Every structure is written in C-alpha cells, then in structure tokens.
C-alpha cells in the first residue's frame, strides 16, 4: 500500500505546569513506558484492521492493546495510561469524534490519532479542533503508522522538555514557602528596574517590610504556625499591591516590594494600606487567633538615591527607624537625618 501524508497539529497544554520530575500525580493507571517505545491503543471495529495496525506497531517495539468499540476503549483507558491512541472515525456503536472527546475529557494530556477511510478537510480540521494529535487516512503502510507514532512521541518529548525548562526557571526565581520572588532574583529585578528608571527618567520606590516580634510569635506558636503565617502575609501582599509591583521574600520574616512609577507619597499610601490590613488580620492558631504587625522602610529613586546600593541602604535604614519608633509604622528615607 502507498504511504499517505498526514495532517499534524501541536497539542497545547493548559494551566500551571506540574513538577516535571514527578512520574505520576496520583494516577492509579499503569504508567506509560517512556523512552523510544510507546504504549499504544488501537480502536477499530474491523478485526483485520485492528490486527494489521497492532502487528505493524509491535514490529516497531511498541506495546499494543486493541479495542473493538469506543466503550471498550474508554474502559481500557481507565486502567492504562496510553502514550498514543489510534481511533477509527466510523464505528457502529459510536462516532470516533465522540470517543476522541471522551478520551480527552478523561485524560486531557492524551495523544490521540484519528483514523478514517473517508477523509475530508472539514473532518481533519474538526478533529484537530477537538484536540487530536494527528489525522491519518486509510489505506496506510506499516512504515506510515510507525512514523506517526515517532512524530507524536517526539512532540511529547519536546513539550515535556519545554515544561521542565519552564518549571526549573520558575523554581530558580521563587521562594519555596511563599512562592514570592526570592532574594536572589529580587536583586536582579532591582538592577533592571533601577537601570530602566535612570534611562527613561522614571521614579521607583523600594519598600522593605519586617514582621514585628516574629521570633516571639514562632516561640509561642511554633515554626509550622510561623510558616503558615508567612504564607498568609504573602497572600495579603499579593492582594494589596498593584499587578505591576514586584514582591519578594527578602529574608526570614522580611519582605520587599519594588513599585515602578511610584514616588514617596504613592509608596507611603501603599505601605499604609498594607500595614493597616496587616494589623486588622486574624491569624488562626489552634483554638484562637493571633495578630501580627509590620514595620516598613521606604526609599525612592531619584528622591533618596541615585543607584541600587544607596536605594537599598536607605530603605533599610528607614526600616530600622520604624523599629526604633515602636514598630507598626511606616518611615520614609527622607525622614532620616543626613
């Protein structure tokens, strides 16, 4: 039989990328084989076609399971996580596109190839729109099937590699507890924002925030409770700051915010809003609630500093002055004695 061309489409992934190091996310089904071999499902109501396809794929080293109906295919997919599924478009008990939709609903990351003897552009487009990884037309050769599986596996490998790269890039930037930016990446952000502000004559403000008497809080309630409180504080900051502000966990109980375009007056308003929300917040601890306050130091460029080092130093000194004034307050760098 002559080898026919295929119409291919890339599978899109949605949602947050999962940890690529994990082989499974609690999926009770038998896991895919991986490597150059695949666990393949062939769904066709004609036995001779099923067996021909299965034999061709087995010759290429793949593990193949066959199903004679859409219902059988769904039952098998509940038990086995297939790398690739070939689904015939026309079957007596159901439409192949319905099987495609059901399989993808059950396993959204599945790679499904639609097979038909009555190909039209409309059917191919609809298959891809519904999420098919590929579309092949009967008749086809053994080599053709083997190439289709190889292409799907290579696409899957590339998608996994992209997710892994994105995951580790994200991991290198974030604090593991709060999922805010970490100290190291925050310094990179300060570098870039200071450079941008100086280049275009913009203003930026740096806020350094410290939880008051947090050691006492940890001693009283325990470190797990302290970690939980830090995550709640991170959520409060995310919900209070503007979407284009940069928030980081700066140290143990210290946080920092870069506020592009803000002068000292605007940064002070933001800091007071955070301080007030913090003082009004209840932290559930066992049978009761606890309260925390914070102190804030603010420095602005170009009002208080002309470079990154000076900006950080003056914000830090303003924070210490806030502590000296009794905590639970906001201090601007311009209040510092020269």
For 186, the token pair is 């925050």
Per-residue pLDDT band at 231 (split at 50, 70, 90): very high
pLDDT reported for residue 190: 95
Evaluate whether 72 touches 66 at the Cβ level (below 8 Å). Answer: no
Q: Annotate 31-42 with b (16+ C-beta within 10 A) or e (fewer).
A: ebbeeeebbbbb
Mean pLDDT of the chain: 82
Q: Where are the domains of the chain?
A: 7-166, 183-335
Residue 254 has pLDDT above 90, yes or no: yes
Q: Annotate 61-72 with b (16+ C-beta within 10 A) or e (fewer).
A: ebebbbbbbbee
pTM (whole model) above 0.85: no
Per-residue pLDDT band at 188 (split at 50, 70, 90): very high
Residue 51: helix, strand or coil by DSSP?
helix
Q: Which CATH superfamily is domain 7-166 in?
A: Response regulator (3.40.50.2300)
- φ, ψ dihedrals at 78, nearest 5°: -75, -20
From 44-58, 99-113, 259-273, the region with the lowest mean pLDDT: 99-113
* pLDDT, mean of residues 243-262: 95
**7-49 pLDDT per residue, tens:** 333 333 333 433 333 333 444 444 444 446 888 889 888 898 8
- φ, ψ dihedrals at 232, nearest 5°: -65, -40
Cis-peptide, bond into residue 139, ω within 30° of zero: yes
Question: Bigger pLDDT: 212 or 46?
Answer: 212
Question: Bigger pLDDT: 280 or 20?
Answer: 280
* pLDDT, mean of residues 79-103: 80
CA-wise closest residue to 283 among 334, 236, 335: 236
* pLDDT, mean of residues 154-160: 80
CA atoms of 9 and 45, how far apart (whole Å): 26
For 271, the token pair is 């800091």
CA-wise closest residue to 272 among 336, 194, 219, 329: 329
183-335 CATH pick, 3.40.50.2000, 3.30.70.270, 3.40.50.1820, 1.10.3720.10:
3.30.70.270
CA-wise closest residue to 89 among 135, 49, 52, 131: 135
* pLDDT, mean of residues 169-177: 85
């Amino acid at each position: 039989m002559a080898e026919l061309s295929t119409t291919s489409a890339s599978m899109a992934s949605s949602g947050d990328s999962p940890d690529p190091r994990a082989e499974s996310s609690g999926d009770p089904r038998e896991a895919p084989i991986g490597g150059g071999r695949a666990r393949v499902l062939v769904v066709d109501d004609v036995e001779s076609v099923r067996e021909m396809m299965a034999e061709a794929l087995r010759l290429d080293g793949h593990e193949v399971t066959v199903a004679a109906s859409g219902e059988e295919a769904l039952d098998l997919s509940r038990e086995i996580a297939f790398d690739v599924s070939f689904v015939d478009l026309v079957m007596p008990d159901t439409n192949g596109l319905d099987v495609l939709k059901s399989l993808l609903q059950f396993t959204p990351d599945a790679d499904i190839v639609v097979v038909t003897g009555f190909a039209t552009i409309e059917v191919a487009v609809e298959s891809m729109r519904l999420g098919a990884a590929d579309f092949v037309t009967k008749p086809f050769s053994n080599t053709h099937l083997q190439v289709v599986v190889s292409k799907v596996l290579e696409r899957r490998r590339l998608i996994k590699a992209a997710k892994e790269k994105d995951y580790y890039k994200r991991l290198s930037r974030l604090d593991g507890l709060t999922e805010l930016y970490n100290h190291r990446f925050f310094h990179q952000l300060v570098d870039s924002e200071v450079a941008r502000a100086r280049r275009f004559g913009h203003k930026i403000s740096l806020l350094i925030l410290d939880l008051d008497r947090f050691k006492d809080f940890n001693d009283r309630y325990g470190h797990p409770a302290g970690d939980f409180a830090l995550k709640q504080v991170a959520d409060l900051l995310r919900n209070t700051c503007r979407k284009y502000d940069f928030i980081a966990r700066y140290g143990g109980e210290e946080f920092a915010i870069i506020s592009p375009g803000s002068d000292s007056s605007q940064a002070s308003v933001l800091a007071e809003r955070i301080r007030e929300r913090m003082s009004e917040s209840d932290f559930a601890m066992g049978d009761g609630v606890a309260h925390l306050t914070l102190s804030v130091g603010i420095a602005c460029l170009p009002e208080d500093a002309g470079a990154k080092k000076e900006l950080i130093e003056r914000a830090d000194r303003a924070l210490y002055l806030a502590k000296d004034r009794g905590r639970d307050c906001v201090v601007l760098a311009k209040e510092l004695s020269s």
